[in-house]
Amino acid sequence: MREIALVYLDRSGGLQKFVHDCKKYNDSKQSYAVYRFIISINPSDIAELDATLGNYILHNPIQAAQIFQSVCFIAVKTLSLIEQLQTETQISILLKPTHLPPLPSYVLSLSAFPFNYTSQRFYVSEGIAIAMGTVTKYTQGARFLCTEETCPFSEGFRYVRVHLPGATESATVRNDFVCSSCSSPLQEDMQFRVLGDKQIVEMIDAKVLNALKGYSNDKSHFRIQTFTVFLR
């Protein structure tokens, strides 16, 4: 699947954009804990190249991003795109689909039963934004070092934590991580923390507009509840 991912990036122009984004990182001459890249993907085009990879992207996007992460790391090292990059874990890939299949199973509707949204795959959700919070910062990535000076992991980029969709802030940054080699506490290297913007939006299903008409021919009772969306 890595070969198919590389072919798709080359044909879609994604590889050229990736090289351009790498140049911006490389020209900055600053070392980052995490190098973040957004890759636009067309699920239909990928499915035509390889149905397995197309299905994998649609239903296991976090794992599929790791395939593109591996491809991008090899490209960086082969073409010497970012001199400061040391490990594959420093690359963070966000897959951004251009669209999803027009099928009911890809529509997130909190007014429909049963609720079967346990998988971490892509959904389309439509609604009305009724409240928006202010833009705040969150940690996209952080570098941790072993506090034991004699440990080989007291330097380098062995411990890099990257925010994943659906994770809380404490999953990326907290003070109880330990070294897998010597079990000593890990300490964050604050100068390598990578921040991003997030905003909380309160939304409600568009069906609420029917209730605001003041009358209804439907005798059944229903309840509409808001849901929270995190924009990162």
Domains and their CATH numbers in the chain: 1-99 (3.30.1640), 137-197 (no CATH)
**140 DSSP β-pair partners:** none
At 98, is the pLDDT very low, low, confident or very high (cuts 50, 70, 90)?
A: very high
For residue 111, pLDDT beyond 70: no
Q: Which helix (H) or strand (E) holds 51?
A: helix 51-59
Q: Please tell me the pTM assigned to this model.
A: 0.85
Of the candidates 130, 121, 185, 122, which has an alpha carbon nearest to the alpha carbon of residue 159?
A: 185
For residue 185, pLDDT beyond 80: yes
Of the candidates 189, 180, 184, 183, which has an alpha carbon nearest to the alpha carbon of residue 155?
A: 189
For residue 225, pLDDT beyond 90: no
Task: Please give the single-letter amino acid code of residue 108.
Answer: L
pLDDT digit string, tens, across residues 152-163: 999 999 999 999
Tokens found for residue 27: 């020209």
pLDDT digit string, tens, across residues 8-18: 999 999 999 99
Cα three-residue angle 221-222-227, rounded to 5 degrees:
170
Name the pairing type of β-strands 35-41 and 91-97: parallel
- Provide the H-helix boundaries in 61-193: 61-79
